[in-house]
Chain A
Amino acid sequence: MDRKNIQQHNLHLEQSTANSMRQFEKVYHEHIDALHNYGMKFNANRELIEDCVQDLFADLWEKRNKLDTIVSLRSYLLGALRRKLLRKIYSDREYVYDAEEYSGFFEMHLLKNAEAEMALAEEQLVQINSAFAKLTEKQKEVIYLRFYNQLSYKEIAEVMAVQTRTVYKLAYRAIDMLKEQISPYTPALQALLYWLIC
Chain B
Amino acid sequence: MNKENYETYQLSDFILDESFQAWVQGKHDPFWDHFLDEYPEKNNVFKEARLMVEALSVSEQKLSVTEKENYLAAIYLKAEQREKSRDKSPYLLPYWKYAASLTALILLSGLVYYFFLSTSFQYYETAYQETQRFQLADGTEVVLNANSTLKVLPDLQDKDVREVWLDGEAFFKVNQLMQEGDSSTFVVHTPNLDVQVLGTHFNVKSRDGNTRVMLEEGSVKVANVNTRENLLMSPGEAIELNEREGKIKKELAKESKELAWQHNYFIFENESLADVAAEIYQYYGIQVRFEEAEMRDYIFTAEVSRENLPLLQTLIEEAFDMRIKREGNAMIFQKTNQDSF
The residues of A with any CB-CB pair to B shorter than 8 Å are 10, 13-14, 17-18, 21-22, 25, 28-29, 32-33, 36-37, 47, 50, 53-55, 57-58, 61-62, 108-110, 112-116, 118-120, 124-125, 128, 143, 146-148, 150, 152-153, 168, 171-172, 175-176, 178-179, 182, 186, 189-190, 192-194, 196-197
Contact = CB atoms under 8 A, between A and B. Distances in A.
Contact of B98 (A13, A33, A115): A13
B305 interface: no
15 contacts: A18-B108, A32-B71, A36-B63, A54-B78, A58-B75, A112-B60, A113-B57, A116-B54, A147-B57, A148-B58, A148-B60, A152-B18, A168-B16, A193-B51, A197-B47
A190 B47 contact: yes
A10 B97 contact: yes
Contacts of A179: 11-12
B72 A13 contact: no
Given A58-B78, A113-B59, A178 B52 contact: yes
B271 interface: no
B109 A193 contact: no
Contacts of A114: 59, 191
Interface of B is mostly: helix
Contact of A62 (B61, B72, B82): B82
B280 to A, nearest CB: 17
B34 to A, nearest CB: 15
Interface of B: 11-12, 15-16, 18, 21-22, 25, 44, 47-48, 50-63, 68, 71-72, 74-76, 78-79, 82, 97-98, 101-102, 105, 108-109, 191, 226, 328
B105 A17 contact: yes
Nearest to A143: B56
Given A25-B109, A37-B60, A189-B51, A58 B82 contact: yes
Nearest to B72: A28
A53 B109 contact: no
A56 B97 CA distance: 26
A18 B75 contact: no
A54 B62 CA distance: 17
Contacts, number: 128
A148 B60 CA distance: 8
A143 to B, nearest CB: 6
A17 B191 CA distance: 40
B57 A148 contact: yes
Given A14-B105, A58-B82, A62-B79, A120 B55 contact: yes
A153 B16 CA distance: 10
Contacts of B59: 113-115
B188 to A, nearest CB: 19
B61 A150 contact: no
Contact of B71 (A54, A115, A175): A54
A175 B16 CA distance: 8
Given A18-B105, A21-B109, A118 B226 contact: yes
Contact of B21 (A146, A186, A190): A146
Given A33-B63, A112-B61, 15 more contacts: A21-B105, A28-B72, A28-B75, A32-B63, A37-B60, A50-B71, A53-B71, A54-B75, A62-B79, A143-B56, A146-B16, A147-B57, A153-B18, A171-B16, A175-B16
Contact of A150 (B25, B50, B101, B191): B25
Given A172-B12, A190-B48, A116 B75 contact: no
B83 to A, nearest CB: 8
